[in-house]
């Protein structure tokens, strides 16, 4: 049976992970590369084995093998093929197997790199990767086994186990429960893999960091080796967060995209430390400073990745009692504690050799501003961490459940985000090592004046909200600084190479991908910030019950209730869809169709908004209720979300920027003066 | 003059008699927007982390109706929050300040201020070496970029 194949592959991968850890340690102890090579082979083998296991489960899901409890829980006859396949990550057991599968893919990919310069690091990288993989596989095998089957005894009782109990017969329900309706959305199909890819790929830089600590290497080799891994991890995590936001906007039916829900924050926290790390490693690369801090950041990121998975998988968020009752909760807790304590102990042991002789020389230098950037990211992390942890602590200590909602996060983090925006404008203009207020002022006066003109234009147009004015001014400042940087570089190249400005810009970016990719990311962040300012400060909403032909007005828009139809679909949904005529300034614009899908299997409704999207704003209408049968009247909730589409456009720019930054550099020579590069090469050749 | 005093006393007496009656009378029916404004600051008792105005459960629909009833009875926004707090502090969007809950309001600023103080303590120690004071060092890239620009101006 295919499930047996899946289970045995899983079990073999687990045993191989244990063996690989042990072999790598033996290899270090005996200084024998054969053992390390054997450990490497174990790491490489884990991927095909877990691929067999994952494909076995996907096969069972597609073919609706309802004897497998997981399959019965997350699929049903009415689900289309693509949803059955992606139900692999639709439930607890499957998603843990999926996590492990991705982890094995990344561990294998890391093993395939050229290790000649890093032989000493290799066994420890194997140990960390396989220990993490082994931990997740132990959860899958012993606590949340997706291949466990249902059996029925002579008394009629049904229980679940891998093996057939004596006297029991296979129990095959007629139909499964089906996937949670909220997860049947394209965004939710792609969102978890992106998030998991982000989580898992952060394990690789952590593994190299631990390897550097264990072997006592104080150079920045581990950072240089993992730079691209880190960027890829960050890219996937960012994509996961963006897709999750879009899913929330389209499916959850509350008019927003980010609700500061603990599940969102669980994924957001490693992104915060990861972003701080991406900035901070540049200081170590350029100035050999902050070695301790970078190690601490990657340790935190790794444990926040595991913590995020723990928060969403242990049931602790619904109640601490659920955590205590769940089998995997305490396991996660123990793993996080062990890895955190062990990593910090290792860091403290190597504290002395990591000390740098280099001193910071100026409080306006690039490194000092990056330090400030890190301080702001960590401050936001502290707020988020306390906001998530506090309700749990309160329930344990006082027995009372409390809610920490958006109002707490928004008021506490708002000023910090504004300060980060300001830094995004100032830091690119500051110099490494020494920068004074005078030199910085000289570099930024042009963008600063430009941003003041934008502010004046906003005031002139009638905008008076102080928060929005500050936010838009900061956005304008960052955009102008960034564009100024592009312009300066392209102009210099254009003049030196006699290239057209467009070609010079293209080649400038192509030759300095990390730098200009970073600037693209900054532009993406600004676009996202503009969208956030728009919806946070200017969102409008209203609700009303309309008879056919009646109108509900909001700002310059109005909706007119036209009709409502109800029908049943083949996939088990009862759909009620309203037809609304949307008017702007009294003129008919188009029809929009808010609807409610009622999933009959799960007895769960899903509210899908009717939307009219433009760069200026979204008109977002929800069907809240209606008169049954006659549908003479219905209740609608209407939102006007200004600038919200800038968030998605900013996300796209952000992703493009990260891809540019992560793309391998074709040549390390500088962009503007290729002659200098050639000279250097020529002299190097002469020396050689 | 006596007539004026008589009329004033009569008005006060009539007012006194009428006022309690007016206060006890139901106010105008609240709009859904008024209800939603308050509901957005309360949380569903059944679904974790879902604001009351966005929740589709029957329990939340009942609570929204209760908000409308309370508004009609003349309750203020704060009185309505206090009313719902009887179901536990978990229904409020932010923990009420008091007891252990103070920590969530005090800890983040305290930790951040401590961090800022430590950071400032370190930053102010930085001194530009005399040799570098006049010549600002830039990254190799920036220095060459600026030299290039200067040479061409």
pLDDT of residue B119: 86
Which chain A residues are within 8 Å of B140, Cβ to Cβ?
670
In contact, A476 and A451? CB cutoff 8 Å: yes
Low-confidence ranges of chain A (pLDDT < 50): 668-688
Q: With 50 as the cut, is the pLDDT of residue B22 above it?
A: no
- Show which of residues 1-30 on chain B sit within 8 Å of chain A, judged by CB atoms: none
Which chain A residues are within 8 Å of B103, Cβ to Cβ?
390
**B101-111 pLDDT per residue, tens:** 899 999 989 99
pLDDT of residue A252: 82
Calculate how close chain A gets to B63, using CA atoms only, in Å. Answer: 15
Q: How confident is the model at residue B132 (pLDDT cuts 50, 70, 90)?
A: low
CA distance A532 to B24: 44
In contact, A618 and A641? CB cutoff 8 Å: yes
Given A372, A432, A496, which is nearest B137 (Cβ)? Answer: A432
Q: How many CB atoms lie within 10 A of CB A631?
A: 16
Q: Which of A311, A362, A670 to mutate to test the interface with B (most CBs of B within 10 A)?
A: A362
* CB-based contact, B33 to chain A, within 8 Å: yes
Chain B residue with minimal CA distance to A486?
B145
Among A599-603, B1-5, B64-68, the minimum mean pLDDT is found in B1-5
The two three-digit tokens of residue A517, written as one number:
């990719």
CA distance A606 to A389: 30
Which chain B residues are within 8 Å of A607, Cβ to Cβ?
56
* CB-based contact, B112 to chain A, within 8 Å: yes
* Sheet of strand A540-547: strand arrangement: A540-547, A633-642, A617-626, A610-613
Given A383, A403, A495, which is nearest B92 (Cβ)? Answer: A403
Which chain B residues are within 8 Å of A406, Cβ to Cβ?
93
Question: Using the beta-carbon criterion (under 8 Å), do B132 and A361 form an inter-chain contact?
Answer: yes
Q: Which of A298-302, B82-86, B110-114 has the highest mean pLDDT?
A: A298-302
ipTM of the complex: 0.80
Given B33, B92, B128, which is nearest A542 (Cβ)? Answer: B33
In contact, A89 and A98? CB cutoff 8 Å: yes
* CB-based contact, B41 to chain A, within 8 Å: yes
In contact, A39 and A21? CB cutoff 8 Å: yes
- Torsion on CA atoms A326, A330, A332, A334, rounded to nearest 10: -170
Q: With 50 as the cut, is the pLDDT of residue B24 above it?
A: no
Which chain A residues are within 8 Å of B52, Cβ to Cβ?
none
pLDDT of residue B142: 63
Q: Which residues contact A429 (CB under 8 A, 6 or more apart)?
A: A440, A443, A444, A481, A485
Calculate how close chain B gets to A445, using CA atoms only, in Å. Answer: 16
Written as one string, the DSSP assignment of A452-520 is HHHHHHHHHTT---HHHHHHHHHHHHHHHHHHHHHHHHHHHHHHHHT--HHHHHHHHHHHSHHHHHHHH
pLDDT of residue A425: 93
Given B36, B91, B108, which is nearest A386 (Cβ)? Answer: B108
Which chain A residues are within 8 Å of B31, Cβ to Cβ?
543
Which chain A residues are within 8 Å of B53, Cβ to Cβ?
254
Dihedral pair phi/psi, residue A204, rounded to 5° = -65, -50
Given A404, A491, A635, which is nearest B95 (Cβ)? Answer: A404
CA distance A659 to A521: 10
Q: With 90 as the cut, is the pLDDT of residue B54 above it?
A: no
pLDDT of residue A203: 96
Given A252, A359, A375, which is nearest B119 (Cβ)? Answer: A375
Q: Which of B29, B37, B39, B54 to mutate to test the interface with A (most CBs of A within 10 A)?
A: B54
Helix (H) or strand (E) holding A271: helix A262-287
Question: Using the beta-carbon criterion (under 8 Å), do B112 and A386 form an inter-chain contact?
Answer: no
């Amino acid at each position: 049976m295919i499930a047996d194949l899946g289970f045995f592959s899983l079990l073999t991968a687990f045993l191989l992970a244990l063996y690989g850890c042990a072999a790598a340690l033996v290899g270090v102890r005996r200084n024998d590369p054969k053992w390390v090579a054997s450990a490497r082979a174990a790491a490489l083998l884990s991927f095909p084995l877990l691929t067999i296991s994952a494909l076995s489960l996907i096969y069972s899901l597609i073919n609706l093998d309802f004897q497998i409890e997981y399959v019965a829980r997350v699929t049903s006859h009415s689900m289309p093929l693509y949803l059955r396949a992606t139900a692999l990550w639709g439930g607890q057991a499957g998603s843990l197997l999926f996590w492990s599968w991705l982890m094995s893919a990344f561990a294998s990919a890391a093993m395939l790199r050229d290790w000649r310069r890093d032989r000493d690091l290799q066994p420890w990288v194997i140990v960390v990767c396989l220990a993490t993989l082994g931990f997740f596989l132990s959860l899958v095998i012993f606590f949340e086994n997706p291949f466990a089957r249902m059996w029925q005894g002579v008394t009629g009782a049904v229980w679940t186990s891998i093996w057939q109990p004596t006297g029991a017969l296979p129990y095959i329900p007629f139909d499964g429960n089906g996937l949670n309706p909220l997860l049947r959305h394209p965004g939710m199909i792609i969102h978890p893999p992106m998030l998991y890819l982000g989580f898992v790929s952060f394990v690789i830089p952590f593994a190299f960091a631990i390897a550097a600590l264990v072997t006592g290497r104080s150079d920045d080799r581990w950072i240089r080796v993992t730079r691209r891994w880190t960027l890829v991890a960050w890219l996937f995590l960012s994509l996961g967060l963006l897709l999750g936001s879009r899913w929330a906007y389209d499916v959850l039916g509350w008019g927003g995209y980010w609700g500061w829900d603990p599940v969102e924050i669980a994924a957001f926290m490693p992104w915060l430390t990861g972003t701080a790390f991406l900035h901070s490693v540049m200081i170590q690369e350029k100035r050999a400073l902050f070695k301790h801090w970078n190690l601490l950041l990657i340790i935190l990121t790794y444990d926040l990745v595991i913590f995020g998975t723990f928060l969403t998988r242990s049931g602790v968020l619904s109640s601490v009692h659920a955590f205590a009752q769940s089998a995997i909760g305490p396991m996660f807790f123990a793993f996080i504690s062990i890895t955190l304590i062990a990593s910090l102990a290792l860091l403290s042991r190597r504290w002395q050799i990591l000390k740098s002789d280099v001193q910071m020389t100026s409080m306006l230098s690039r490194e000092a501003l990056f330090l400030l950037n890190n301080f702001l990211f960590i401050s936001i992390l502290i707020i988020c961490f306390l906001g998530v942890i506090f309700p749990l602590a309160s329930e344990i200590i006082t027995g009372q459940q409390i809610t920490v909602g958006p109002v707490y996060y928004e008021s506490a983090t708002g000023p910090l985000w504004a300060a980060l925006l300001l830094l995004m404008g100032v830091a690119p203009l500051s110099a490494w090592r020494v920068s004074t207020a005078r030199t910085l002022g000289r570099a930024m006066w042009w963008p600063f004046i430009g941003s003041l003109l934008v502010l004046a234009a906003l005031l002139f147009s009638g905008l008076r909200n102080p928060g929005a004015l500050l936010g838009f001014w900061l956005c304008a400042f960052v955009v102008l600084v960034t564009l100024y940087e592009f312009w300066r570089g392209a102009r210099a190249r254009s003049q030196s190479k006699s290239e057209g400005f467009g070609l010079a810009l293209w080649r400038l970016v192509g030759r300095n991908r990390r730098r200009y990719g970073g600037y693209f990311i900054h532009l993406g962040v600004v676009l996202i910030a503009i969208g956030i300012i728009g919806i946070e400060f200017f969102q409008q909403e209203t609700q009303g019950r309309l008879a056919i032909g009646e109108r509900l007005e909001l700002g310059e828009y109005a909706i007119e209730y036209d009709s409502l139809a109800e029908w049943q679909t083949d996939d088990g949904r009862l759909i009620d869809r309203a037809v609304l005529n949307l008017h702007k300034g009294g003129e008919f614009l188009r029809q929009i169709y808010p609807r409610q899908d009622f999933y009959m299997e799960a007895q769960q409704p899903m509210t899908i908004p009717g939307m009219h999207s433009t760069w200026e704003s979204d008109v977002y209408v929800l069907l809240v209720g209606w008169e049954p049968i006659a549908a003479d009247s219905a209740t609608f909730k209407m939102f006007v979300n200004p600038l919200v589409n800038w968030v998605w456009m900013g996300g796209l720019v952000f992703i493009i920027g990260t891809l540019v930054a992560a793309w391998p550099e074709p040549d390390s020579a500088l962009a503007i003066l290729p002659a200098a590069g050639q000279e250097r090469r020529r002299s190097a050749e002469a020396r050689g | 003059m006596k007539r004026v005093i008589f009329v004033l006393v009569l008005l006060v007496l009539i007012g006194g008699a009428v006022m309690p009656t007016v206060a006890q009378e139901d106010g105008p029916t609240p709009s859904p927007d008024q209800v939603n404004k308050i509901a957005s600051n309360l949380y569903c008792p059944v679904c974790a982390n879902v604001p009351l105005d966005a929740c589709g459960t029957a329990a939340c629909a009942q609570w929204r109706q209760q908000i409308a009833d309370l508004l009609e009875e003349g309750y203020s926004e704060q009185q309505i929050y206090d009313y719902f707090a009887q179901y536990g502090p978990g229904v409020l969007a932010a923990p009420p300040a008091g007891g252990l809950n103070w920590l969530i309001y005090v800890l983040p600023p305290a930790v951040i201020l401590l961090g800022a103080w430590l950071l400032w303590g370190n930053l102010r120690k930085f001194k530009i070496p005399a040799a570098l004071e006049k010549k600002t060092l830039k990254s190799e890239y920036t220095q060459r970029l600026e030299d290039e620009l200067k040479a061409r101006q």
